[in-house]
């Protein structure tokens, strides 16, 4: 089960010209927490806790201000809302999607650690990665209704990658995703054309090229 916590945080404080005595709430920050199915969540307590912590941090910011732009007598006005947005069990370690999501997180780490200086570009690439992973998951779920992916297929491949070398990591992780797709995005019935797998391979190969080109890797 996923708990979505939307917190309204100040993006600016009361300016001297306004003198309204409160912070101005403008930014929404989303936090998602995985909770086991059936576990009760005290949403009121969670909301109260977050509100108090944000309020405390806001007060500290106000107090540390020199008062030139911020009204140091302002009080934080914080609002939060907790909502259960999706019921979904997290995959077990022996489930194929566990490794799929693991590779997604590792690619995200590579983007964060080596490509973050290209802000707009890295955001677009992360959306591309998330879209590919989501479609791979959907296709797997459809095929698993009629296909029995045996234990041999479920055994995890080596998912290590070079954290310090973005060029190697880009190749290793995209190739690992292609390997995953070759096992779990293919038809179990002989004679059927694997159109989705063929398409996703092309897209992942293109993703690898885009990552390498951005940081001027030697193409191989």
State the helix-helix crossing angle for 119-144 and 96-114, rounded to 10 degrees: 170
What are the tens digits of pLDDT across the range 99-133?
999 999 999 999 999 999 999 999 999 999 999 99
**Strands across the sheet with 2-12, in order?**
24-34, 2-12, 79-86
Would the pTM count as exceeding 0.85?
A: no
184 pLDDT higher than 70? yes
Structure-token pair, residue 178: 């292609």
11-43: string of b/e by CB count within 10 Å (b at 16+)? eebbeeeeeeeebebeeeeeeeeeeeeeeeeee
What are the tens digits of pLDDT across the range 125-177?
999 999 999 999 999 999 998 888 865 555 556 668 899 999 999 999 999 99
């Amino acid at each position: 089960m996923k708990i979505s916590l939307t917190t309204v945080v100040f993006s600016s404080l009361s300016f001297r010209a306004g003198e309204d005595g409160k912070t101005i709430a403008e930014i929404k920050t989303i936090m998602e927490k995985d909770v086991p199915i059936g576990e009760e969540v005290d949403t009121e307590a969670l909301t109260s806790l977050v509100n108090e912590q944000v309020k405390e941090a806001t007060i500290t910011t106000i107090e540390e201000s020199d008062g030139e732009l911020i009204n140091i007598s302002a009080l934080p006005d914080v609002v939060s809302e907790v909502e259960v947005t999706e019921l979904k069990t997290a995959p077990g370690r022996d489930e194929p999607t566990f490794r799929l999501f693991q590779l997604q997180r590792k690619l995200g780490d590579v983007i964060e650690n080596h490509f973050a200086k290209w802000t707009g570009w890295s955001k677009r690439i992360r959306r591309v990665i998330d879209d590919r992973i989501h479609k791979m998951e959907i296709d797997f779920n459809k095929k698993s209704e009629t296909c029995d992916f045996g234990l041999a297929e479920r055994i995890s491949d080596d998912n290590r990658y070079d954290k310090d070398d973005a060029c190697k990591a880009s190749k290793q992780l995209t190739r690992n995703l292609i390997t995953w797709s070759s096992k779990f995005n293919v038809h179990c019935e002989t004679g059927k054309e694997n159109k989705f797998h063929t398409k996703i391979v092309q897209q992942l190969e293109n993703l690898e090229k885009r990552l390498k080109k951005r940081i001027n890797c030697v193409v191989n």
